[in-house]
Amino acid sequence: MNTLFQQRSKITALCHMAIRRYSIENVLPKDLKVVKNPSDSQIEQFQKLVVRDGGNEIPMLKETMKERYHLYLLCQKDSTVVSGTQSIIYKSLNPSTPDFQVFGLFYQHENTFNFLPHLMSEMAADLNSVSMNSGGCVDSKNAAIWRKVLHTKVRGSTYYVSDYTSDEVFNPELEFDDVAVKKFQDIPADDIVKYDNTIFPYQRQELLLAKFKGGIGRVAYDKSGKVIGIGLVSFDKSSGNCEIGPIYSDTKNAAQAMFHSILGEMNGGFKEIRVRCSDKFEGSATWVRPFLRRRHEMTPFAYVKFNRVIPDGLNMSKVFVSSSPSSAPC
């Protein structure tokens, strides 16, 4: 009797699950709307869906990138978000170098396959994306959508990601005699902006400084007072997780010195920390190892892909940790 009841309960549960899937998978175009100027409540809903992929940066991007930032959401008539993506146009600092456009924060319900292509196609048409250099960082499951919509055929770096709990990270005794590390609050903002321009020669000054104000930032100097690196760890207060990046530096020693100083201030006050590395720069995969209590494991995370060329001027040889992949290629 109990067995029969359990079987019926299991069948009922499966039927309910199938109905939910069917209701999402078979939503008709007439039941959906593309929202190009989302409300605060819709943005909050979308942020919860993509929080670990950079969703908490949306308000910052809107405020700092202004008309160059676009967020499109695909919603049901009751405003339930079923898909979303963002785009940023980066203006070149060099008049002879073209601007480029980045896409990121891709989301569609796990049981659907057609929402994101529909949304990206409309965004790409509105922003004339195919006629300019467009792309960014994309994961393997969405790469085919990019090829179809943006015609991305040029591939750059592969990014890897690793996550460590607070008890898997420690602050070792290391010597940094040739490096002076200062807190973000104690240095001229231009020191960060000018160094960033040597790595990423496109306009994002307001965004970068906003990120540093919201996290724990450091700047490294050599003995002559020249800037040789900038580093940042950002926090998500709701989860207790944090993320390293960017760390741009002339040397591994300077990168480690900045992180050593940041860890000292954090004092283990985090749940989990994330670090990224690239296959185009060996130093990005080795600099963090002295700070780990376990083996450094790297999981493929995203690929840098564009429809024309990898943006001119990106200096990957100093990118120990990239900035947020959802908003920039390095």
Whether 295 and 264 share a structural domain: yes
pLDDT score recorded for residue 238: 79
Q: Are residues 151 and 166 in the same domain?
A: no
Q: Which residues of 7-41 are buried (b: 16+ CB within 10 A; e: fewer)?
A: eeeeeeeeeeeeeeeeebeebeeeebeebeebeee
Establish if 328 belongs to a structural domain. Answer: no
At 31 the pLDDT is 78
149 plus 220 within the same structural domain = no
- Report pLDDT for 273: 96
Q: How many CB atoms lie within 10 A of CB 326?
A: 23
Is 18 in the same domain as 96?
yes
pLDDT band at 29 (very low <50, low <70, confident <90, very high): low
Same domain, 34 and 6: yes
For the stretch 43-69, pLDDT in tens is: 999 998 887 777 789 999 999 999 999
Query: If you search the block for the tokens 């039927």, which residue do you land on?
Result: 15
pLDDT band at 10 (very low <50, low <70, confident <90, very high): very low
| pLDDT category of residue 23 using cuts at 50, 70 and 90 | very low
Mean pLDDT of 29-35: 81
327 found inside a domain: no
Place 32 in a pLDDT band, splitting at 50, 70 and 90.
confident
Confidence (pLDDT) at 25: 54
41: amino acid identity, one letter: S
Q: What is the pLDDT of residue 9?
A: 45
Check whether residue 146 and residue 52 sit in a common domain. yes
Looking at residue 287, what is its pLDDT? Answer: 97
Phi, psi of 272 (to 5 degrees): -150, 145
Q: What CATH number does residue 116 fall under?
A: 3.40.630.30
Domain assignment present for residue 49? The answer is: yes
Q: Secondary structure of 178-246 in the HEC alphabet?
A: CCEEEEHHHCCHHHHHHHHHHHCCECCHHHHHHHHHHCEEEEEECCCCCEEEEEEEEEECCCCEEEEEE
Print the SS3 string covering 55-77: HHHHHHHHHHHHHHEEEEEEEEC
Q: What is the enclosing helix (H) or strand (E) of 157? A: strand 154-165
pTM, rounded to two decimals: 0.88
Chain mean pLDDT for the chain: 89
Phi, psi of 293 (to 5 degrees): -90, -10
Last residue of a domain, one of 139, 156, 173: 156
CA nearest to 153, candidates 308, 5, 327:
308
Domain boundary among 114, 130, 156: 156
Both 135 and 166 in one domain: the answer is: no
Residues 213 and 118 grouped into a single domain: no
Asked if the model's pLDDT at residue 26 lies above 90, the reply is no
pLDDT, tens only, 221-266: 999 999 999 999 999 887 889 999 999 999 999 999 999 999 999 9
pLDDT 10s digits, 272-283: 999 999 998 999
State whether 112 and 177 are in the same domain: no
What domain range is 241 assigned to? 160-321
Question: Which residue type does 228 have?
Answer: I
Does position 322 have pLDDT exceeding 70, yes or no?
yes
pLDDT digits (tens, 9 = 90+) for 165-194: 999 999 999 989 899 999 999 999 999 999
pLDDT tier at 4, thresholds 50, 70, 90:
very low
78 lies in the same domain as 217: no
- pLDDT value for 27: 55
Our measurement of the distance from residue 161's CA atom to the centroid of its chain's CA atoms, rounded to an integer in Å, reads 11
Which position has the higher pLDDT, 6 or 299?
Answer: 299
Residues 232 and 83: their CA atoms lie apart, in Å, by 30
What mean pLDDT comes out for the span 292-300? 92
Length, in residues, of the chain: 330
Euclidean distance between CA atoms 188 and 206, whole angstroms: 14
Q: What is the CATH number of the domain that holds 197?
A: 3.40.630.90
Asked whether residue 141 carries a pLDDT value surpassing 60, the answer given is yes
With a cut of 90, say whether residue 113 has pLDDT above it.
Answer: no
Residue that terminates a domain, selected from 156, 183, 214: 156
Peptide bond into 246 cis (omega under 30): yes
**Can you tell me the distance from the alpha carbon of 34 to that of 121, in angstroms, rounded to the nearest whole number?**
11
The answer to the question of residue 263 being in a domain is: yes
